[in-house]
Amino acid sequence: MPLLNIVLYQPEIPSNTGNIARSCLATGSRLHLIKPLGFSIDDRQLKRAGLDYWHEADVRIWESVEELFAATRDEAARRFFFTTKTQRPYYEAKFRPGDWFFFGRETKGLPESLLEANADRCVTIPIESGARSLNLSVAAGVAIFEARRQFAAEAAG
């Protein structure tokens, strides 16, 4: 089982996806990409951002979020949706190994319908009001390493 499942909903910028793939590889997490992608996975920028690790990363590609949900129905309770459209800080959530972290497109975030259907599992990374949002790869890194911090704290007792 992967440490975490990181889901990118219709990512648009190859360097963000490459950076997140590298973070997933470094943490034993699995990366899930939901189509359509705003780039080819053969994109040179994607591979450059993921360095030469891209082929080693555990990446799954899904035709739609519905396909992913159908295939992972048993894991639905452990899904978290990262968005700027909620007030619940990510650090108030209690993460567990195997959890699913969903991130939206760089320009539009996650679909409103998905956020509304999962309002109790939406979390945000608080930022100052002058910024619209964090870069996608930064946000994913914050989430992944907060989960790892929580796992280490729990293991230490």
pLDDT tens for each residue of 81-121 = 999 999 999 999 999 999 999 999 999 999 999 999 999 99
The CA–CA distances, whole Å, from 119 to 87, 116, 124, 127 equal 11, 5, 12, 20
Residue 133's pLDDT band, with cuts at 50, 70 and 90, is confident
Element (H, E) at 30: strand 30-34
Confidence of residue 48 (pLDDT cuts 50, 70, 90): low
Q: Which CATH architecture fits 5-156?
A: 3-Layer(aba) Sandwich (3.40)
SS3 10: coil
| Total-model pTM | 0.93
Domains of the chain by residue range:
5-156
